[in-house]
Amino acid sequence: MTTLTIARLGHLGDGIAPGPVFVPMALPGEVVEGALDGERMVDPKIVAPSPDRVKAPCRHYRACGGCALMHASDGFVAGWKTDVVRQALTAQGLEAPFRPILTSPPRSRRRATFSGRRTKAGAIVGFHGRRSGTITEIPDCQILDPRLTALLPMLEAITVAGGSRSAELALAATLTDRGIDLAVRNGKPVEPALFAELARIAGEADLARLSWDGEVIAMARPPARRFGRADVVPPAGAFLQATAQGEAALVAAVTEAVGKAGPVADLFAGCGTFALPLAERAEVHAVEGEAAMVAALDAGWRGAEGLHRVTTEARDLFRRPLLPDELNRFGAVVIDPPRAGAEAQTAQIAASRVPVVAAVSCNPVTFARDARLLCNAGFSIDWIEVVDQFRWSPHVELSARLSR
């Protein structure tokens, strides 16, 4: 047995002791004891707990890998996530004013991808265990909207019908304004008997839409989501913000950052989370790499009333970023890239005459790297707001305003 003192948290939420040694479910300052397996401590015992340690509110916490920080107080997690962003900026030689963090409440996640596997007795559906391929059932999950956990019996039925003993289904369930949108991947080929069984299950569960490896099996009604004044029907399995509260916070921040500027370019626009609300104030040009998402955004705009003109473009912004002569006509740019950031596109914004950038990021490290390019070109960071949609996880999101 080895005794260690935790120095800090790692980016995955593990405690880190000198060595380094990674200790799951440990907090800075705690004294822990356990056996070492390489760089990890196995089944650590907390000898001296931190004052920030709390009892996890979920009975599945130790077995489930969906959450990593339920053993820490809300105040500690909020401070740690803000510090993660601050440290990423410091590494790039940057500073910024921080607004208070906005954290989504428990039981507010409106989308989740469950894992499903057939068993001899039927099926098991849930989330993977911590650092494990084992699926843990989570009927009392404290992070999901109860309407998602209520789906578990139906997801088990789908797994029995269309899963195999040798493969694992990915069951992506999303709450929409018109019911559940369920997109399943890795299923068996859809033959007539399976098609009929899946359609029956979807009908009994009143799913808005069921798709199977990209093919729509049943659609009782279009699974629309409202963005501003527009109703949008996203492609099956499309990215959407995880909580209503998180989306509202990000939209409010982007709207404030853009202000009265116009026209606006919305880059990595998705299905229009920002573009359509912004169109209530100004013309918007929305650019997104996925053509199906662009089509959904465009259809939503065309079906709405009272919006300014929204133009769309399907374009790979990693390979073909908008160039300065294309950007110079915009009064503001909104940019919400994936975790890899948008270094190539940001370099073109830096070289343009765009005066304001509203940035949204799910990776503080790549945000800070890209912000450094803008600051080198004469921008300053007016403010940063950390948005914690993924409560009890190490995942960090933020919005920011940068101006020349």
3-state secondary structure at position 292: helix
Q: Nearest to residue 85, comparing CAs of 346, 379, 359?
A: 359
Query: Which residues, other chains included, contact 110 with Cβ-Cβ below 8 Å and sequence gap of 6+?
Result: 145, 148, 174, 175, 242, 243, 244
Q: Is 366 left (phi over 0), alpha (psi -120 to 50) or beta?
A: alpha
- The backbone torsions φ and ψ at residue 85, rounded to the nearest 5 degrees and listed phi first, read -70, -45
Structural contact between residues 348 and 322, judged by C-beta atoms closer than 8 angstroms: yes
**Is residue 67 flagged as an active site residue?**
no
| DSSP-derived 3-state class of residue 104 | coil
Q: Out of 67, 141, 271, 362, which one is annotated catalytic? A: 362
Beta-carbon contacts of residue 295 (< 8 Å; ≥ 6 apart): none
392 residue type, one letter: W
The DSSP secondary-structure symbol of 100 reads E
Rg of the chain (C-alpha set): 23
Those residues whose C-beta lies under 8 Å from the C-beta of residue 312, and which sit 6 or more positions away, are 269, 285, 286, 287, 288, 294, 297, 298
Give me the DSSP letters along 232-248: E-PPTT----SBHHHHH
What is the rounded CA–CA span in Å between residue 211 and residue 151? 16
Backbone angles phi, psi at 215, to 5 degrees: -100, 130
Please tell me the distance from the alpha carbon of residue 85 to that of residue 95, in angstroms, as a whole number: 10
Q: Report d(CA 270, CA 350) in Å as an integer.
A: 23
**Identity of residue 43:** D
Active-site residues: which are they?
362
